Structure 1
């Protein structure tokens, strides 16, 4: 059984900080609450910081790209102008069992 519903598309969200990390930290709790909402609403499958910590990455799913982009626009990191994010839709041809 797949964790990706048949009517969903997959996306890679690449996030880069555009300000010093010290300016990001005060908004981290609000961002993490937003991430929790992304999981609760079924958008996010995996997420976390990059190494080194220059931003983050999200593997997401949504019926349409526009739905995901509208949701991502509410991220406090976006509304505060702390990040640049790019969304890439992709079609997985192979996955591990369960994905």
Structure 2
């Protein structure tokens, strides 16, 4: 599992100009089963996405395709972690530690 942390590098006005495209990109990733949660940070200086994927490289490529990244209004920090404990509703995302 991956935490994708966005940090805005431009004014919120520039971010908002790309918001419709960003939301469409998010919707496509939810439909593909890649994203399981997302939202703005508070204060509004970026956002966070929880994602599932086969590799860090795949997730980093996906982050680079975000209209916010393409438009130069954010940077991404991708952190991989093993979801060894989850709420019951997220049990299908539970992982084993590698041996």
In structure 2, runs of 5+ residues without a counterpart are 91-99
Corresponding residue SS for 2:30: helix
Corresponding residue SS for 2:72: coil
Please provide the CA RMSD for this pair. Answer: 0.9
Higher helix content, 1 or 2:
2
Match of residue 38, structure 2, among 47, 51, 57: 47
TM-score w.r.t. length of structure 2: 0.86
Corresponding residue SS for 2:88: coil
Over 4 Å off, 4+ runs: none
| CA displacement, residues 38-90 of structure 1 (integer Å, 9 cap, x when unaligned) | 11111100001111111000000001111121122111100111001100000
For the residues of structure 1 that align with 2:57 and 2:31, how far apart are their CA atoms?
A: 18
Q: How many residue pairs end up in the alignment?
A: 90
Higher strand content, 1 or 2:
1
Flag the structure with more relative contact order, 1 or 2, with Cα contacts below 8 A and sequence separation at least 6: 1
For the residues of structure 2 that align with 1:71 and 1:95, how far apart are their CA atoms?
A: 24
TM-score w.r.t. length of structure 1: 0.86
